[in-house]
Chain A
Amino acid sequence: MKFDKSKFLELNHYKSFLKEIEYFEEIDSTNSYLLYRRQNIDRVLVIADYQTAGRGRYSRKWMSNAYENLMFTLGLSENITHEILHRFSFLTPISIVKSIYQLYGITAEIKWPNDVLVGGKKLCGILIESVFESDNNIKLVIGVGINVNQTEFEDEIRDRTTSLKLVTNWNIAREELLAKFIDLFYEGFQLIKNNFEFIYNEYMKYVFSLGKQIRIQVGTKIIEGKFKDVNQKGELILEVNGNEFPFSSGDITILKE
């Protein structure tokens, strides 16, 4: 079934938050669409039932069956400054975690920086991209892909991927999930500038594998150590031989205990 935009609008609480909602049955990528568009992307939500060129980080493919999952991008530009940019990498996964808990009672975790896992398997991927036209003119696009009703996954990702249907056995109404996410995101968005502490503390409640031995890969470098902390800048703090090192990016793998 196609995504029902009017049903979503009915369920969405804060009617004034979104300025525009665009639905595509098929599109290359919702992030790319808003990045190309450039003008008037603030508070624009783009939803697609199928992406022909869905992307993750470093141009990795994001594969998703048509009509089964939730894929959308939210554009923001007004009042976005470089100081608060990374905070959306805290707010977005928290809003997902809270949405699925409130709607379906599912407990999820956040794998640094912002993947959402259930039972150690990936449920949701987030790709946030920004373009600096100048220091005061930043375009931000927040892309989210949630595995909702898909139950079959390709061999190479099957073991580490899950969906809401696989967890609950229910057919999930995607419109309800998106409406909940947008509501919770908007509530957090109002705190992001002056009350970030609150968002940060919530993130820390859900963060996965804190205190464990991990391996982090940045470019071609691989470093192992203890996952000590995530600081308010969003950096992962790795402890190696008693010294602490911050990482602003990288792929983490949990090592066996």
Chain B
Amino acid sequence: MDLNYLKKLIKILDESNINEVEIEEEGTKIKLRKNIGEKNETQAFQVFQHPMPYSYPQVQQVTTQSITPDKVPPQVEEKPKVVEEPKAEKKYHEIKSPIVGTFYRAPSPDAEPYVKVGDTVSIGTVLCIVEAMKLMNEIESDVNGRIAKILVENAQPVEYGQTLFLIEPM
């Protein structure tokens, strides 16, 4: 990552309503945080309840597009307290979204979710559906393990490469 890029990011962050940005690119992880009071923090937290480049009108108070640099969309995550260290997540296997779309935990609105936290899954177990333009993409587990965390709410938009599940391999 070059210095100019970093400078640009800092400037963007400075001028925005965001107080924290985390970017991962080719193995390098950068976390930038503004030195601000608590009042601002709650405000920024509300804006990013949906960690997407876009979200639904109801939650769209401030447009998130304005903080997106031209090329690399930074992954803005909600981390109000920074309790969870990246170290702890290392032992988990990540299941990522293979496409841009809408995340569904169940095959239909009144059906049981495919998996819940704590469920044991094996290679080939269907975990969720990501839908784009009425194309239903079944996402399967590629490891044997236990569902440790589900990172996306039902019917929320997801990005390409966004982590959906954390699985503890067994």
Q: Residues of A at under 8 Å CB distance from B?
A: 57-60, 82, 85-86, 88-90, 113-114, 126-135, 218-221, 223, 225, 233-235, 240-241, 243, 245-250
Contact = CB atoms under 8 A, between A and B. Distances in A.
Contacts, number: 105
Given A130-B138, A223-B57, A249 B133 contact: yes
**Range for the number of chain B residues in contact with chain A:** 20 to 34
Interface string B124-149: 00000001111111111010000000
B102 A130 contact: no
B49 interface: no
B34 to A, nearest CB: 26
Nearest to B102: A249
Contact of A132 (B109, B134, B139, B157): B139
What secondary structure prevails in chain A residues at the interface with B?
Answer: mixed
29 contacts: A57-B131, A59-B107, A59-B111, A85-B132, A86-B133, A89-B135, A90-B133, A114-B134, A126-B134, A127-B134, A127-B136, A128-B134, A129-B137, A131-B137, A131-B138, A132-B140, A219-B104, A219-B109, A219-B155, A219-B156, A220-B155, A246-B54, A247-B157, A248-B100, A248-B101, A248-B132, A249-B102, A249-B131, A249-B133
Contacts of B107: 58-59
B136 A113 contact: no
A126 B134 CA distance: 8
Contacts of B142: 134
Q: Which 4 A-B pairs have the closest CB atoms?
A: A219-B155, A234-B133, A59-B108, A89-B133
Nearest to B136: A129
Contacts of B56: 218, 221, 223, 245
Contacts of B134: 57, 89, 113-114, 126-128, 249
B99 interface: yes
Contacts of B111: 59
Contacts of B156: 219
A128 B136 contact: yes
Interface string B152-169: 001111001000000000
A32 B7 CA distance: 52
Nearest to B142: A134
Interface string B53-66: 01011101001000
A131 B135 contact: no
Contacts of A219: 102, 104, 109, 154-156
Given A58-B107, A86-B135, A130-B138, A245 B57 contact: yes
